[in-house]
Amino acid sequence: MAKHVNADQVEVARNVDLLDYLKRDRAPLKKERRYYRHQVHYSFVIKDQMYAWNSRNEKGVGVINFAKMFYGMSFPEAILDLNSQGYKVKDYYQEKKPKEHYQYPFQ
């Protein structure tokens, strides 16, 4: 077991898409409206990069926290696992346009 990981490895792992991580692990997920539900653990739901396992009262954000909670990995183990497979990077990095102030029409 590795005891140390560097900052670059942590950054790569932090940007892994949670759904891609679960799909590659063959987790049985079903899309229900705006979230996914695990088909074995029915109280376990995922939306974007957030997860909630309602029956266990466990909630969190991010794939690193998920790997630690769901698979019982240590932080370095989770980082190395997330770096080893070449997972898809999450796609929420969209550029936000600054809002324009409303212009009242002249009368």
The CA R_g of the chain, rounded to the nearest whole Å, is 18
Tokens (6 digits) for 99: 């809002």
What global pTM score does this model have?
0.74
3-state SS assignment for residue 70: helix
Distance CA 56, CA 54 (A): 5
3-state SS assignment for residue 79: helix
pLDDT tens for each residue of 70-103: 999 999 999 999 988 878 776 654 445 567 887 8
CATH of 17-84, one of 2.40.50.150, 3.20.20.70, 3.90.580.10, 3.40.50.10860: 3.90.580.10
Cβ atoms of 56 and 64 closer than 8 Å: no
pLDDT tens for each residue of 19-29: 888 888 777 88
pLDDT tens for each residue of 32-67: 999 999 888 889 999 988 999 999 999 999 999 999
Q: Compute the CA torsion angle 4, 9, 10, 14 (nearest 10 deg).
A: -150
Cβ atoms of 30 and 45 closer than 8 Å: no
